[in-house]
Amino acid sequence: MLVSLSRSVADAGIPAPSAPPGPSDPSAARRDAAEALEASFLAEMLRATGLGEQENSLSGSTGESQFASFHRAAIAREMVAAGGIGLADVIEAAIGETSRDGA
C-alpha cells in the first residue's frame, strides 16, 4: 500500500520531501546565528520604544501584548533582512574569531 501511495504521489507531480538543511556550511550557520541575535536585539529595542502598545479603551488584554511581540519580532527580522544596523556583521566576526581560537 505504501509503495502504491508513493507511486501515485510521484505520478501526481508532487515533489518528494527533502531532508532539512543541516549545518553543512559553518559560515552560513554563523551568519544565521548572528542575524537571529541581531533580530532579537532589535525586537527588544522596539519593545523599549513602545512599538505595539496602545492606550485606549479597547487595549490592555494579554493577547494584545503577545501579538504585539510577534509584530515586533517580524519587524525586527525584516530590518535585519534589509541590512539591519550592522550588529550581525560584528557578531559573525566575533563568532569566527572564537571558533578559530578554539580550533
Q: How far, in Å, CA of 68 to CA of 51, rounded?
A: 8
Q: How far, in Å, CA of 80 to CA of 70, rounded?
A: 15
Q: How far, in Å, CA of 37 to CA of 85, rounded?
A: 12
Single-letter residue type at 71: H
Domain locations in the chain as residue ranges? 23-53+60-102
Indicate yes or no: pTM above 0.85: no
Helix/strand/coil for 80: helix
Look at residue 73 and tell me whether its pLDDT is greater than 80.
yes
Q: Grid coordinates representing 46?
A: 522596539
**Lowest model confidence (mean pLDDT) among 5-9, 25-29, 87-91:** 5-9
Residue with cell 552560513: 28
Mean pLDDT value across residues 46-50: 93
